[in-house]
Chains A and B, each alone.
Chain A
Amino acid sequence: NAGVTQTPKFQVLKTGQSMTLQCAQDMNHNSMYWYRQDPGMGLRLIYYSASEGTTDKGEVPNGYNVSRLNKREFSLRLESAAPSQTSVYFCASSGTGFGYTFGSGTRLTVV
């Protein structure tokens, strides 16, 4: 089925470890986004990519990096994980209709 695929679904990291969250969409959307969701704080934008080859910071970019590898893929990297980065991460994409299609999320715990 068409949509946004995120991997992995679950991950436990030790403080200081690095990892990359992967996201791919097959809807030919230009824009892609990474959010984190924390209790009581809604969705906060980490980074986004309006088109292939461009990336921009969102509300909470510190501690993260992104790569828009091609039109389909947008990865999020944690270089040195911290407990404050324990969260649920969502990738989303959008085309011309302004609404977003979301992935099913990655639940990350940093111990």
Chain B
Amino acid sequence: AQSVTQLDSQVPVFEEAPVELRCNYSSSVSVYLFWYVQYPNQGLQLLLKYLSGSTLVKGINGFEAEFNKSQTSFHLRKPSVHISDTAEYFCAGWGIQGAQKLVFGQGTRLTINP
């Protein structure tokens, strides 16, 4: 069973428009959540992470995500995207179903159109 689910495999948006990439996870007692970005032909880079504290987490490049325990979600948002945000985005969780390692979602390919 998928433990981290990214609800959209592809998201096309126009430049300067807002975007939300959706991520849901399987409920667990303690879970830490992450978003990674992969630019074409590169490895994965950490965008942001939620470990504890404020449920609104700010990351690099103007991205933010909100941890919602009741809805078991960790959606990624950006109010205004740029061409350079074109990439694949991965949601991941640590502690999902007790696993002591990261479990990744399937990825969402974000395409920014001019």
Contacts and interface: CB of A to CB of B under 8 A. Distances in A.
B43 A33 contact: no
B63 interface: no
Contacts, number: 47
Nearest to A100: B102
A-side interface size class: 20 to 34
B9 A98 contact: no
B43 A104 contact: yes
Contacts of B51: 97-98
Contact of A104 (B9, B42, B46, B49): B42
A48 interface: yes
A9 to B, nearest CB: 10
Interface of B: 9, 32, 34, 36, 42-46, 49, 51, 90, 94, 100-102, 104-107
Interface of A: 4, 31, 33, 40-43, 45, 48, 50, 90, 92, 94, 97-105
